[in-house]
């Protein structure tokens, strides 16, 4: 498999080069030259396959010969070695729980897969790689955990000060060793802009071997297809494919789901569930894409005013707006409605949503009111305990802390405070090296 830049002015790359570079030399996102199609019978008989077989079958065409088959099977097995259950919440709504990994968030899948691929690629490499990543919440913890103590790799994570939950922050700032946390006095968009400037700075890239672990990286983006397939494996009514509501911030997750659908996965419809940051809902109404300054909400991992991966979704539909609208709709949910949804679902269904899952639940409920014959599921992307300061006042009770959270809450914070200034980041990276 070869990958081309969406800016269309860089040479094509194989999976190894695309993973190591993160961004193409012309600063475009890498995109596969073709979308592998799976046989219809594969989806019809998915229950016959182990999860490791399903994941390997989907990802192998994208990796090609960049990683030997036995090594790729090992990477896949280590990536998905935790439960990913589809649970019934109400009569027509299910929840795909993606928070059973080491950092209690869906990004464990992509981060674990990418870290193991990159670890394989840098073996016997003389030059250390610096993974540079911006996070609005869960990416940082998943990347930090995935790359912790990987030989030949340094990790630098930028996060917006005061705009991630206390649990999310602890997962970023307590590991140390090869993981370095930069607390930026600004928004996630400021963090993301600084990272993009670093990748476009010629002098910096001549000195350092930089790569990204955000969902812009193909090795983070592509394995997110796995859990959509695992959900289909558990979906009881195969004659009636699901409507899928995805909490959407940088749009890598839902883009992976749509990619799996184009490969053959049966899906009735996708909903991009957004909070007050509603660039995409507005676009789908007006056909005008207008990035905005990010608004702070209680579903903070989705506080993105210019989602990087949306350009990939447009590419999947050859920039044909009418074709996109047939597959994807989008909804925006306020903080007030998010809290209301958490409370109502907890009281009526005895199911506890985190704020991001609540946004997806609200969007799916609204869609099913207009399409009562359908059923669907949300992606519950993080454990509610990661947002206990939001959730506990809503349900008026404490959330039991998982052991993995108890173990980090008392650890000492170790971060570097920085203004949203690229020159300061550049100086830091060069001095650290």
Q: Would you please indicate which residues are annotated as catalytic (active-site) residues? A: 107
Length of the chain counted residue by residue: 433
End-to-end C-alpha distance for the chain, whole angstroms? 33
According to DSSP, the residues that pair with 329 across neighbouring strands are 271
According to DSSP, the residues that pair with 245 across neighbouring strands are 271, 378
DSSP annotation of 11 reads -
26 SS3 class: coil
Rounded CA separation 269/266 (Å) = 9
Question: Which backbone phi and psi does 332 adopt, to 5 degrees?
Answer: -120, 135
Contact between 345 and 361 under an 8 Å Cβ cutoff? The reply is yes
Contact between 195 and 81 under an 8 Å Cβ cutoff? The reply is no
CA–centroid distance for 65 within its chain: 25
Element (H, E) at 380: strand 376-380
Sign of the alpha-carbon dihedral angle for 306, 144, 389, 164: negative
Element (H, E) at 206: helix 202-207
């Amino acid at each position: 498999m070869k990958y081309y830049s969406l800016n269309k002015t860089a040479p094509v790359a194989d999976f190894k080069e695309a993973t190591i570079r993160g961004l193409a030399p012309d600063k475009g996102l890498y995109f596969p030259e073709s979308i592998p199609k799976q046989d219809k019978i594969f989806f019809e008989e998915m229950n016959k396959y182990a999860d490791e077989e399903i994941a390997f079958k989907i990802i192998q065409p994208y990796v090609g010969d960049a990683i030997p088959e036995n090594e790729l099977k090992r990477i896949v097995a280590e990536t998905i070695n935790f439960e990913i259950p589809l649970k019934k919440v109400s009569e027509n709504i299910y929840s795909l729980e993606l928070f059973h990994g080491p950092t209690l968030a869906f990004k464990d899948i992509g981060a674990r897969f990418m870290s193991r691929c990159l670890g394989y690629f840098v073996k016997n490499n003389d030059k250390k790689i610096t993974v540079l990543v911006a996070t609005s919440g869960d990416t940082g913890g998943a990347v930090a955990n995935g790359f912790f103590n990987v030989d030949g790799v340094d990790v630098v994570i930028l996060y917006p000060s005061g705009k991630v939950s206390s649990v999310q922050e602890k997962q970023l700032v307590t590991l140390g060793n090869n993981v370095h946390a930069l607390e930026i006095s600004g928004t996630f968009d400021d963090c993301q802009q600084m990272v993009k400037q670093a990748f476009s700075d010629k002098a910096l890239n001549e000195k350092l071997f930089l790569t990204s672990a955000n969902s812009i990286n193909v090795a983070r983006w592509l394995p997110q297809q796995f859990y959509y397939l695992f959900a289909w494996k558990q979906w009881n009514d195969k004659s009636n494919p699901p409507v899928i509501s995805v909490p959407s911030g940088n749009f890598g997750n839902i883009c992976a789901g749509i990619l799996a659908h184009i490969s053959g996965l049966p899906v009735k419809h996708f909903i991009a569930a957004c909070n007050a940051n509603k660039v995409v809902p507005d676009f789908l109404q007006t056909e005008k894409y207008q990035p905005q300054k990010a608004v702070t909400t209680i579903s903070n991992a989705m506080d993105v005013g210019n989602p990087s991966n949306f350009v990939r979704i447009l590419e999947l539909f050859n920039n044909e707006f009418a074709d996109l609208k047939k597959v994807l709709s989008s909804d925006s949910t306020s903080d007030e409605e998010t809290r209301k949804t958490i409370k109502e679902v907890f009281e009526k269904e005895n199911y506890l949503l985190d704020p991001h899952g609540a946004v997806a639940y609200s969007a799916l409920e609204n869609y099913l009111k207009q399409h009562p014959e359908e059923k669907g599921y949300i992606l519950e992307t993080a454990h509610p305990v990661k947002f206990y300061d939001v959730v506990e006042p809503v349900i008026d009770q404490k959330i039991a802390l998982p052991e993995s959270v108890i173990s980090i809450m008392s650890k000492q914070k170790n971060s570097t405070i920085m203004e949203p200034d690229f020159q300061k980041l550049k100086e830091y990276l060069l001095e650290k090296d």
